[in-house]
Amino acid sequence: MELARIGTRAAAAIALSIALAAQCPATPTVGPAGELLCGLMGCVYGADDRREPHEVRSEQVRRWADSTVALFEAGMVTEDPESGQATLTTKPFLVAPVGLAGQVELCAEEPYRGQSKGAFCSGALVGEDLILTAGHCVESEDECRNGVKFVFGFRAEEGGQPPAQVPAGEVYGCSRLLARMDVWAGPDYALIQLDRPVRGHAPLRVRRSGTPPVGSPLTVIGHPLGLPTKIAGGASVRTAAENGFFAANLDVYGGNSGSPVLNTVTGEVEGVAVRAIPTFVYDEERGCAKRGSRMDDYKQGTEVSLVDGLRPLLPAPRRPRTGAISALELPSAGRVSFDGGPR
């Protein structure tokens, strides 16, 4: 079975929905070993490990999150030179795609229901002016320069919502698309040079050689469903790297494309999240959309693209390895209600 890409742009989502829904029922098919055979748009493995940055006790992990960016369509970001602020166009997360049914209202208890969303992909700072993301998120240099803004600080505050504005200095444009690969069932990455060096955020380290062994602990940081930054730990490498990618049981959704996948022990970026088992199923009894889920030990999972081809373009690492992060010690995902509805 082919896995769905996890970007959220409308055209890609529609195309994937049509292609997969033609083969899949509204309720996913489950194989004899519990494997998911059909569905749409991302997955949660075992418990939902997604957390807001402010819920994470580890200062190191919060610093990782501070080095990530949200990719917004350029028309969704309005910069005001006089105020020095940039307004982000967002909308509440109230519906989700479910096969041929299209967009279906979320069930009341779904995590992050009502939270504002707006990003279409995710990325990470890996040099003073370099962003790493998925190749299918930025398809050409023209699109990069004219169609995308890279926004730091799109994260929820303790009240549950992200700010409607961010400092204009946290918004960057694209100067050059330095490298790009986009191979279905293969490597999928892009390296972008920004229009100026980034201030106030430290680049993440990228693995310089080799590949992560099976069992290596992982953390993914990005914008599932276009939502504000989410951190999800508790994952690990499930399959050895082959054809430019490996599989992991990461809790991701559409919008996580380009999210850095970090080794939780070393703090190095092992690759970027690019393709995932689909999710969101129809609750026939209640007539709403709910998350699909997987057994935590399922072997097939989110595909993480290696970035070997970019290593010659990356600056020499400056920071030492970060040391082990044994646990994130977090509250339950989605505990806060964003729209006042029942949980």
> What is the rounded CA–CA span in Å between residue 137 and residue 258?
7
pLDDT of 300:
63
Block mean pLDDT (10 aa), the chain, length 343: 51 37 33 30 64 95 98 98 97 90 93 96 98 97 98 93 96 98 94 98 95 96 96 94 94 93 97 85 94 60 93 80 50 37 32
Q: Which residues contact 113 (CB under 8 A, 6 or more apart)?
A: 93, 94, 106, 334, 337, 338, 339, 341
At 223 the three-state DSSP class reads: coil
Q: Say what the pLDDT of residue 35 is.
A: 31
Dist CA 66 CA 58 (whole Å):
13
- Say what the pLDDT of residue 291 is: 87
The predicted pLDDT at position 238 comes to 94
Instruction: Using the Cα atoms of residue 188, residue 313, residue 216 and residue 334 in order, give the sign of their dihedral.
Output: negative
pLDDT of residue 336: 35
What CA–CA distances, in Å, run from 121 to 155, 175, 216, 221? 14, 18, 25, 11
Cα distance between residue 330 and residue 47, in whole Å: 12
State the residue for tokens 């049914």. 101
DSSP letter at 21 equals H
pLDDT computed for residue 49 by the predictor: 81
Cα-based distances in Å from 136 to 19, 31, 157, 305: 17, 30, 30, 12
Domains of the chain: 46-97+115-274+302-313 (2.40.10.120)
Provide the b/e sequence for 5-16 (b: ≥16 CB within 10 Å). bbbbbeebbeeb
Measured distance between the N- and C-terminal CA atoms of the chain, rounded to whole angstroms = 34
Q: What is the pLDDT of residue 98?
A: 86
